[in-house]
Structure 1
Amino acid sequence: MPGTSSFHQQVAADKRAAILTAATTLFGTRGFARTSLAQIATAAQVSKATLFKQFPTKDALFDAIVDEAWTPQVRPSAHPDPTDPETGLRALGTLYADLVGQPGMAGLFRLVIAQAPSSPELGRRQFDLGKLPFFEEVRRYFRAAADAGSLDVEDPTTAATQMLGMISSFVLWPRMFLTDWNPGASAVAHAVEEAVLTTLARYGRR
């Protein structure tokens, strides 16, 4: 029955979410190397067989945490138009702010930083699997806009770094140090808008 199938799918999704939450917490408190899959199963209140079926290794589990954090909940159906950089940059900036502003993102960054001395590979995988694909999307947009003649950009990598850096400096990094940092939607939108306007002032065609 369709209803039964939907029920089982929801149960599986709930268990997966519980596993990822428990793993993120234990990796951050106990350390990646000192945390076992069995301990994560206990904390998530699932059987070891259930956990091993989805995540046979801790590496696979960490990669899933990264993928979950960097997968947008809502993504525009079409790629931003490179001939309209104000709209395109605003869309990409808003998406980035939504990603780095979610509560779990700060926890992921703290986890990676805390475990860097003993598990430096976590930082590399967080970057390669998480931020880099999104950064490449923004960099490609700057290149496309330059090719379309709507932006004057010689170095898309620098341009992408500058715009995303302005957004993360307001949305993400204060949250790393201030547990009560939680700017509202209007404040985040303002930060994105200022980053876009500053970028257009620097790279817009005159």
Structure 2
Amino acid sequence: MTNFEAPRIHVLSTVSDAQVQALADLLIDCVEGGASVSFMLPLARERALAFWRKVADGVARGERALLVAEDAEGLLGTVQLVLDQPENQPHRAEVSKMLVYRRARRRGIGALLMQAAEDQAHAHGKTLLVLDTSSAEAERLYARMGWQRVGVIPGFALLPEGEPCSTTFFYRALQARAQAPAAG
């Protein structure tokens, strides 16, 4: 990719069919690249589309926040914030499916998406975030951003080709942000 325009991060309040199509392409790219994100190879396009339609339904119900990174060439990445938690956990959300196109990695897109997810968590009154990953590269990103590593569960999931992989769990306590004084 020769265009190095800074990506724009958007929070989608509704998800169009064209966006579902683009998100499915992204998911397929990541799974084909070996990402352990709940799907096995081969990932049929219909399965990827069904997943994103279900996410879109959750966005419409306010259960999830869906953030996307885009530039002039289109979609670069996405992350979700699962807001709908049990009634004894109203203060927390789960960061899920942080995906960046292989062609767009190592450009800071993951960090931008994660910061935007934290901002959304604040906007929704969340003070604790959790996530898990099987990616060493993602682990380094989360550690740089101040996430706390909890531990590793060996063989927790499978890579897309079927080999078991370990999963590392992280959390991040969000700092309370000062409210701007009300205009009088």
TM-score range, shorter chain: 0.3 to 0.5
User: TM-score when scaled to structure 1?
Assistant: 0.30
The structure with the largest helix share of the pair is 1
The structure with the largest strand share of the pair is 2
User: TM-score when scaled to structure 2?
Assistant: 0.32
- Answer with 1 or 2: which has the greater Rg: 1
